[in-house]
Amino acid sequence: MPQQLWSGIDAGKAAHHCAVIDPDGKRCLSRKVVNDEAQLCVLIDDVLAMADGGAVTWAIDLNHGGAALLISLLLARGQRLLYIPGRTVYYAAAGYRGDGKSDAKDAAIIADQARIRRDLQPLRAGDEIAVELRILSAARTDLVCDRTRAINRLRASLLEYFPALERAFDYSNSRAALILLTGYNTPDGLRALGPAGLEAWLREHKARNASAVATAALAAAQCQHTIVAGQQIGAVMVARLAKEVMRLDDEIGDTETLIEQRFRRHRHAPIILSMPGFGPLLGAEFLAATGGDLTVFDRADRLAGVAGLAPVPRDSGRISGNLKRPRRYDRRLLRACYLAAMIATRHDTASRTYYQRKRAEGKRHTQAVLALARRRLNVLWAMLRDHKTYQPTPAT
- Average confidence (pLDDT) over 145-153: 97
Q: Which residues are 7's β-sheet partners?
A: 20, 58
Give pLDDT, residue 279.
Answer: 94
What are the CA-CA distances from residue 41 to residues 44, 70, 104 (Å)?
5, 9, 20
- What's the gap between Cα 241 and its chain centre? 26
Residue 118: predicted pLDDT: 85
Q: Would you say 7 and 49 are in contact if contact means Cβ atoms under 8 Å apart?
A: no
- Separation of CA 375 from chain center: 22
Confidence of residue 96 (pLDDT cuts 50, 70, 90): confident
CB contact at 8 A, 326 and 368:
no
Can you give the length of the chain in residues? 396
Q: What is the mean pLDDT of the chain?
A: 90
- State the pLDDT confidence band at 380, using cuts at 50, 70 and 90: very high
Write the CB contacts of 212 (distance below 8 Å, at least 6 apart in sequence): none
pLDDT at residue 95, as a whole number:
86
| pLDDT over 60 at 395, yes or no | no
pLDDT (mean) for 172-178: 94
Helix, strand, coil proportions of the chain in percent (round to 5)?
A: 60, 10, 30
Lowest-confidence range among 135-144, 199-208, 289-298, 380-389?
289-298
Q: Say if residues 294 and 127 touch (Cβ distance below 8 Å).
A: no
pLDDT of residue 314: 74
* The pLDDT value given to residue 119: 80
Task: Tell me the pairing of strands 80-83 and 56-60.
Answer: parallel
Query: What's the whole-number mean pLDDT along residues 220-237?
Result: 93
Exposure letters 150-189 (e unless 16+ CB within 10 A, then b): bbebbbebbebbbebbbebbebeebebbbbbbbebbbbee
Q: Residue 31 pairs with which residues in a beta bridge?
A: 18
Torsional class of 327: left (φ above 0), alpha (ψ -120 to 50), beta (otherwise): alpha
Containing H/E element for 235?
helix 231-264
Is the pLDDT at 254 greater than 80? The verdict is: yes
Query: What is the share, in percent, of the chain residues with pLDDT greater than 70?
Result: 97
Give the pLDDT confidence score for residue 34 in this predicted structure: 95
Rounded-to-integer distance, Cα 185 and Cα 111, Å: 61
- In the prediction, which pLDDT does 149 show? 97
Please enumerate in sequence order all residues whose Cβ is within 8 A of that of 315, keeping only pairs 6 or more positions apart, or say none.
Answer: 321, 322
Mean pLDDT (whole number) for 159-169 = 94
**pTM of this prediction?**
0.82
d(CA 149, CA 36): 36
Cβ pair 243, 235 in contact under 8 A: no
Helices (H) and strands (E) in the chain, counts: 16, 8
Residue 281, classified by CB atoms within 10 Å of its CB into exposed (0-12), middle (13-18) or buried (19+), is middle
Q: Identify the pLDDT of residue 277.
A: 94
Residues 167/219, Cβ–Cβ less than 8 Å: no
pLDDT for residue 378: 92
What does the H/E/C string look like for 300-333? HHHHHHHHCCCCEECCECCECCCEECCCCCCHHH
CA distances from 47 to 52, 110, 254 (A): 9, 16, 45
pLDDT band at 60 (very low <50, low <70, confident <90, very high): very high
- Give the tens place of pLDDT for each residue, 5-57: 999 999 999 999 999 999 988 999 999 999 999 999 999 999 999 998 889 99
| pLDDT score of 126 | 67
DSSP 8-state secondary structure symbol assigned to residue 94: G
